[in-house]
Amino acid sequence: MIKKILKPFQEVLLQRKLCVGCTSQLDKADRIGILTKNSDLVECKCKRRYVFDRKLNQYRRASLQEDRQYIKNLKK
């Protein structure tokens, strides 16, 4: 039982599709861009960015690299 409690809290929130910062629903967050064929970049109202994997139907934090890729695409 204790192990369950030790599971990273952020991971649990993401599994529930909630922002790790403000716990709002990521399904309602803004889809700000497309990263790849199967993933979208999503920005929460608190400005945290996530990657939504359409295949896995899952959210995860966007890496710095993905963030940069998005900015690069904006400038095109």
Q: Interface residues with Zn ion (CB under 5 A)?
A: 19, 21-22, 44, 46, 48
Let me know: does 50 contact 59? Beta carbons within 8 Å. yes
The nearest distance, CB 28 to Zn ion, in angstroms, is 11
The nearest distance, CB 27 to Zn ion, in angstroms, is 12
The nearest distance, CB 23 to Zn ion, in angstroms, is 7
Nearer to Zn ion, 20 or 39 (CB): 20
